[in-house]
């Protein structure tokens, strides 16, 4: 992630992220002090309503009382849902299984604690059904040491890639990943390098620097070897990016600058043709960096030789605005959009401020901005924001694992993901819904198996908002407290 120096300051000023939630919760518990539901409950299809309040009195709590009714009055604040108008197909939602996350899960939890957590994260309800994840190819700042998958002594090279090995992943990452796959066979996996091996780079270091021109073919081969090795382990790769945050060179953890012209050349002449020859296709996603430089992926997509090999664009949240996703999509509507990283941290401690920001931007904003998949950063960190080596020293995971007891705290990042991942399944389509009405933002989806519709809403206003939801000639009423989140689920028409 980009959380250093001036870029970190941009992030602190522009983002609002929440603190670690305290304690545990019983998923689906309808706690005391429920949010007010609509009164028209006597007729029509029932509506399941799941609510999270920023005072934490209700966390993904099931409400009672909503039901569609024909001919009901429509309030001035009305959210219209139209399943007939479809947008992108959904790949999934999740978080990154970093070295740190996998190490904690494997080494700081008992077998029963580990299984309970993975069932909760990747399993069907009452689990939250995460179905998308991202790996690091070599080390990131959230690794216990800095390494690549083809390290040699300083001054040596390995252009035949004879020393390539995924052995660093075998003790922690692969066991966690394979168990997640077993729990959710629909789990899609992508991966990103933080740096090429040092011997391929201009400064012979994993930190900073860029790719030597004579190493382009070797770097493409390195990425292909990773895909092949993971496939041999039973982990097919859904997508790759060439480089995590290619316009950022961190001082104290692996990174590498790759300008748009370099990425276009690497894709057009090396990696694109190499992966195109595979029997099982692997998507190439460009950029994998912030919203503030939309021109960077546009430059790569403008290259006529690179463009046919680029499946889409990946985005991070640490600078700029989510509207960049739509800008690039509109320029190249045949290319896919993914959101691949955003971290919460201790720099914004108030749920009332930060959970609505998360929902507006990372859940609703990204998917209304054409994202087929949405990923947060570390799926798990410990109570000391690690383990990490360099980089962010106050980041938060989706869950926090106590490094002594193995106890799990589900953070607000968890609830933000759960409000969509538990109810929107792979293969769902985003459908039309009203949004931006008097502080209420929404996004809606229809699932492929049972035609159920999930409407996710956040009330970002400072006061309660009462509204109707209309669909297929029926409606129901609902009141959302200030700074709250709700997911509504009902049976739709095929």
Q: Determine the Cα–Cα distance for residues 50 and 413; give it in Å rounded to an integer.
A: 16
Choose, from 224, 336, 341, 477, the residue flagged as catalytic.
341
E strands, 177-265, in order:
188-193, 239-241
245 given a catalytic annotation: yes
Sign of the Cα torsion 136, 306, 282, 124 reads positive
The residue whose two tokens read 């604040």 is 77
What lies within 8 Å, CB to CB, of 286 at 6+ separation is 241, 242, 263, 267, 297, 300, 301, 310, 312, 313, 314
Q: Is 270 helix (H, G, I), strand (E, B) or coil?
A: helix
Q: Which residues of 191-224 are buried (b: 16+ CB within 10 A; e: fewer)?
A: bbbbbbbbbbbeeebbbbbbbbeebbebbbbbbb
Quote the tokens at residue 401. 């694992």
As to burial, measured by CB atoms within 10 angstroms (0-12 exposed, 13-18 middle, 19+ buried), residue 235 is buried
Say which residues have a Cβ less than 8 Å from residue 148's Cβ, sequence separation at least 6. Answer: 138, 139, 193, 195, 196, 197, 198, 206, 254
Contact 282, 312 (CB under 8 A): no
Task: Pull the structure tokens for residue 28.
Answer: 């689906």
Overall size of the chain counted in residues? 494
CA pair distance 1, 11, nearest whole angstrom: 11
The verdict on whether 341 is a catalytic residue reads yes
Bridge pairing between strands 371-378 and 465-471: unpaired
Q: Strand (E) positions, 280-341?
A: 283-290, 312-316, 336-341
Tokens linked to 108: 């700081």
Backbone angles phi, psi at 166, to 5 degrees: -95, 20
Q: Which of 6, 214, 233, 245 is catalytic?
A: 245
- 3-state helix, strand and coil shares in percent for the chain, rounded to the nearest 5: 25, 25, 45
Catalytic residue annotation: 245, 341
């Amino acid at each position: 992630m980009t959380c250093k120096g001036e870029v970190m300051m941009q992030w602190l000023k522009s983002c609002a992220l929440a603190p670690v939630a305290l304690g545990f919760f019983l998923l689906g518990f309808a706690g005391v002090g429920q949010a007010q539901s609509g009164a028209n409950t006597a007729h029509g299809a029932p509506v399941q309503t799941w609510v999270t309040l920023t005072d934490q009195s209700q966390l993904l709590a099931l409400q009672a009382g909503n039901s569609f009714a024909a001919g009901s009055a429509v309030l001035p604040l009305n959210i219209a849902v139209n399943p007939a108008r479809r947008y992108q197909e959904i790949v999934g939602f999740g978080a990154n299984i970093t070295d740190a996350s996998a190490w904690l899960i494997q080494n700081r939890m008992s077998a029963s604690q580990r299984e309970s957590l993975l069932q909760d994260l990747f399993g069907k309800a009452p689990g939250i059904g995460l179905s998308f994840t991202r790996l690091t190819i070599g080390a990131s700042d959230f690794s216990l040491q800095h390494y690549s998958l083809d390290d040699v002594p300083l001054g040596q090279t390995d252009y035949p890639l004879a020393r390539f090995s995924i052995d660093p992943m075998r003790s922690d990452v692969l066991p966690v990943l394979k168990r997640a796959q077993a729990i959710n066979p629909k789990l899609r996996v992508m991966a990103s390098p933080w740096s090429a091996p040092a011997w391929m780079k201009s400064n012979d270091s994993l930190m900073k620097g860029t790719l030597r021109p004579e190493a382009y073919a070797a770097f493409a081969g390195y990425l292909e070897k990773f895909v092949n090795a993971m496939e041999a382990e039973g982990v097919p790769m859904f997508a790759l990016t060439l480089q995590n945050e290619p316009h950022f060179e961190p001082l104290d953890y692996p990174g590498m600058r790759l300008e748009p012209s370099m990425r276009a050349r690497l894709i057009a002449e090396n990696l694109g043709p190499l992966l195109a020859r595979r029997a099982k296709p692997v998507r190439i996603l460009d950029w994998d960096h912030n919203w503030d430089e939309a021109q960077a992926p546009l430059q790569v997509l403008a290259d006529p030789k690179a463009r046919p090999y680029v499946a889409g664009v990946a985005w991070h949240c640490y600078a700029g605005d989510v509207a960049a996703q739509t800008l690039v999509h509109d320029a190249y509507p045949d290319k896919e959009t993914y959101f691949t990283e955003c971290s919460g941290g201790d720099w914004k401690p108030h749920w009332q401020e930060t959970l609505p920001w998360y929902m507006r931007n990372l859940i609703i904003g990204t998917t209304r901005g054409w994202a087929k998949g949405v990923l947060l950063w570390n799926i798990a960190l410990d109570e000391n924001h690690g383990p990490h080596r360099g980089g962010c020293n106050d980041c938060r995971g989706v869950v926090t694992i106590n490094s002594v007891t193995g106890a799990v705290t589900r953070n607000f990042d968890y609830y933000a993901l759960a409000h969509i991942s538990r109810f929107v399944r792979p293969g769902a389509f985003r459908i039309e819904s009203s949004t931006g009405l008097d502080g209420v933002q929404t996004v809606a989806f229809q699932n492929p198996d049972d035609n159920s519709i999930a409407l996710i809403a956040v009330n970002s206003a400072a006061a309660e908002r009462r509204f109707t939801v209309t669909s297929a000639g029926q409606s129901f009423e609902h009141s959302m407290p200030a700074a709250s989140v709700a997911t509504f689920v009902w049976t739709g028409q095929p």
